[in-house]
Structure 1
């Protein structure tokens, strides 16, 4: 249950962040909005880390170097989400974003990308994705 609650909160925050970033970018520009978002996120994360201390920077050497660039995905996420919200609106953007996330998750599970355990995909999962896509089409009618 705890995981579901965190997933619901995360999904809600993704939507709110997209809307706020779209609004900020209308006033000051997309990359300025991304800079503010990433900076405030860093300040908050660093502040929490300073109090919680759930890890050690000395363990950074254990991380494979390509994974250290994961934060760059944040720039790409925000840029694409803001641009989509300004173009097609919040509802369609988030709907398509969720479908893209699930499709990418299927790819990661099926291939074992990033050293994760490969999982077998089932036909009913693809039916579910198809139903989600149909749902987005219905929402837009």
Structure 2
């Protein structure tokens, strides 16, 4: 898969992530906060299970070989979805996403710098620091009331 296609797919993923909190928050108004989180994950799990069965190239049988922390992604995702459901009605979608993006970029910078989780190490440099710093400043400006 070429990098332009990957960039486009991630851009589409960003669109989905931007809409998801508002959609889940609307559902929460009807069924409740935790129930909305649960339904969000249940629908996503079912959809991914079907796609994995049809198009997957891996095997669920190898799950027993995974380390405990490699299974924590779902827990982290559930936390994120739940927190956005709480935050969006109170601080707005833009502020919630600004905080999310700033935290993601800062965390990404640390993960890349130290090559954590066994991925390629990408050196910390001035341009990356300024870029993340400006995004954090931008997020704080969006959040100010």
Which among 125, 130, 136 is matched to residue 127 of structure 1? 130
Give 1:100 shift. Answer: 0.8
Which among 4, 23, 26 is matched to residue 26 of structure 2? 23
Give 1:52 shift. Answer: 1.1
TM-score normalised according to structure 1 size: 0.89
List, as ranges, runs of 4+ consecutive aligned residues in structure 1 with deviation greater than 3 Å: 136-141
| Residues 41-98 of structure 1: CA deviation (Å, up to 9, x unaligned) | 1110111112113211222233223212321111101111122212210111111211
Which among 20, 27, 35 is matched to residue 32 of structure 1? 35
Gaps of 5+ in 2: none
Determine the C-alpha separation between the residues in 1 that align with 2:49 and 2:136: 38
Give 1:123 shift. Answer: 1.6
Give the alignment of 1:55-94 within 5 angstroms.
55-94=58-97
Contact 2:102 2:139 (8 Å CA) reproduced: no
Contact 2:24 2:36 (8 Å CA) reproduced: yes
Determine the C-alpha separation between the residues in 2 that align with 1:64 and 1:133: 33
Contact 2:113 2:124 (8 Å CA) reproduced: yes
After superposition, the Cα gap between the structure-2 partners of 1:124 and 1:53, relative to the gap in structure 1 and judged at 3 Å, is closer
How many residues are treated as equivalent by the alignment? 141
> Greater CA deviation, 63-72 or 9-18?
63-72
Determine the C-alpha separation between the residues in 1 that align with 2:25 and 2:37: 10
| Residues 13-54 of structure 1: CA deviation (Å, up to 9, x unaligned) | 111111111111122211100110111011101111121132
Give 1:130 shift. Answer: 2.3
